[in-house]
Amino acid sequence: MKFQLSALAILGSFVALSHGVCLKTSGNAHIIPETGDLQLFGLLYNNGELVCTINRASYDKQIWFDCHDGHYAAVPDDLSVLMYANNKVDYRVPLSPDESGIEAWAWNAQKGC
């Protein structure tokens, strides 16, 4: 079963790259001291077109972006990966946020570009 899932993940990566996808994301986040919420600002581009944004506070474990129809994006509260879906294909863009202050982080990442 694990082999099958690994094979599907690799196949999915080849499918994503064969479709010529270029995902770019950037953003920042910080903890709001009064509430403990995560204030998040982020952008996601697919082949140069802005498809998803976020600019809000959340305390959820998974934070959803506002996207154009047919596009879906979310990040977990640990900011480890951006998950994106379009045309029934799922993508994962690993994030490595840099500390930009006390309880504040920023990231830039891309996949397939």
Q: What are phi and psi of 63, to 5 degrees?
A: -110, 120
Dmax (CA) of the chain: 47
In whole angstroms, what is the distance from residue 83 CA to residue 19 CA?
17
Average of per-residue pLDDT values in the chain: 85
Return the pLDDT at 19.
60
Residue 3: in which H helix or E strand, if any?
helix 2-18
Residue boundaries of the structural domains of the chain? 2-111
Q: What is the mean pLDDT of residues 13-24?
A: 66
The answer to whether the Cα torsion of 33, 72, 93, 90 is positive or negative is: positive
Q: Mind listing the pLDDT tens digit for each residue in 54-75?
A: 999 987 888 999 999 999 999 9
Confidence category of residue 91, pLDDT binned at 50, 70, 90: very high
